[in-house]
Amino acid sequence: MSASAMLSPMLADLAPPPPRLSATDSLFLDFDGTLVDLADNPEGVHVSTELAERLDALAAHMPGRLAIVSGRSIAQLDALFGPQAKHFTLAGSHGAERRSPEDGHVQPDKPDQLATATDEMRAVAETHDLYFETKSFGAGLHYRRNPDAEPLAIREATAIAERHGLTLQPGKMMVEIRLPGDKGRAIETLMQAPAMQGTVPIFFGDDVTDEDGFVAAAALGGAGVLVGPMRETAARYRLPDVAAVHIWLAQALENAK
């Protein structure tokens, strides 16, 4: 079902999710804009010790049932979380790669055209003073510091994606090209793991790239949680910002003790 079909025309606001997790829940968390505030460039983000320890504690209460599902690569998430990243299941690059205790690190081969497309994206960024982000399975143009460049960035990225048979992925103040994959399919795949079988997925996300995950969670009997301003969405619940997510995680952990 489309996101628009799941809302009234008035875009009625959504209630916050109950601050608890049961033994039959699996928790899926987007990263940028959900666990951490967005920054002018991806390298400007860091994970606080408090957040890392809280997720570590939740993972201990939910063995095998906590996953981070992000557009970032697994290598980037490892660098941000440090040793604690080994305690979570990770789906990186919009689900193109994943790592779990059962399967280890599963990733696709990189086609030759990906390197060429990445070089072309870098050239666009250098020519038009955009921030260039290289990813394990894609590349992004960020225009947060230069919002007027949005039409140009989208036009150039669209042409590069079409030329090389790659996926175009708009996001918040950025656009990227990447290998195929989406967060919905990532959640569906991860839910087949023994620890998650028979549970319901709860997925927190903020961006339009998270809508596939919201739809997948609902189809599996769970729910999506939109983080940020109200908009058309397939999510069932909403929290206003990253700070509210941190409070919810703390409450869920306290209720689990």
Do 101 and 212 belong to one domain?
yes
Domain end residue (candidates: 140, 158, 178): 178
Q: Are residues 150 and 170 in the same domain?
A: yes
pLDDT score of 127: 95
**Whether residues 156 and 201 fall in one domain:** no
Q: Are residues 54 and 154 in the same domain?
A: no
pLDDT of residue 46: 93
Collapsed DSSP state (helix, strand, coil) of residue 208: helix
140 and 252 housed in the same domain: no
Give the pLDDT band (50/70/90) at residue 10: low
User: Which of 135, 158, 178 delimits the end of a domain?
Assistant: 178
| Residue ranges making up the domain that contains 213 | 25-37+45-108+182-256
Residue 14: count of CB within 10 angstroms of its CB:
18
Distance CA 213, CA 202 (A): 9
Distance between CA atoms of 140 and 119, rounded to whole angstroms? Answer: 11
- % the chain with pLDDT above 70: 96
Whose tokens are 């399919």? That residue is 185
CATH number where 200 lies: 3.40.50.1000
Is the per-residue pLDDT at 1 higher than 70? Answer: no
- Asked whether residue 18 is domain-assigned, the answer is no
| Residue-wise pLDDT tens digits, 193-210 | 999 999 999 999 999 999
Are 224 and 123 part of one and the same domain?
A: no
Supply the pLDDT for residue 104.
87
The residue out of 142, 159, 178 marking a domain boundary is: 178
For residue 60, pLDDT beyond 50: yes
Which pLDDT belongs to residue 245? 98
**In a domain? residue 3:** no
How many angstroms separate the CA atoms of 125 and 133, rounded? 9
Residue 15: DSSP 8-state:
P
| Same domain? 126 vs 171 | yes
Residues recognised as catalytic: 30
Domain count, the chain: 2
- Measured CA to CA in angstroms, residue 37 lies from 40, 41, 205 at distances of 10, 11, 12
What mean pLDDT comes out for the span 208-226? Answer: 97
Does the pLDDT of residue 2 top 50, yes or no?
A: no
Task: Say if residue 51 is in the same domain as residue 135.
Answer: no
Q: Give residue 39's pLDDT band: very low, low, confident or very high (50, 70, 90).
A: confident
Residue 16 located in a structural domain: no
Distance from first CA to last CA of the chain, Å, rounded? 37
Which region among 74-78, 89-93, 135-139, 208-212 has the lowest average model confidence (pLDDT)? 135-139
74 in the same domain as 201: yes
Predicted pLDDT of residue 35: 98
Q: Tell me if 9 is assigned to some domain.
A: no
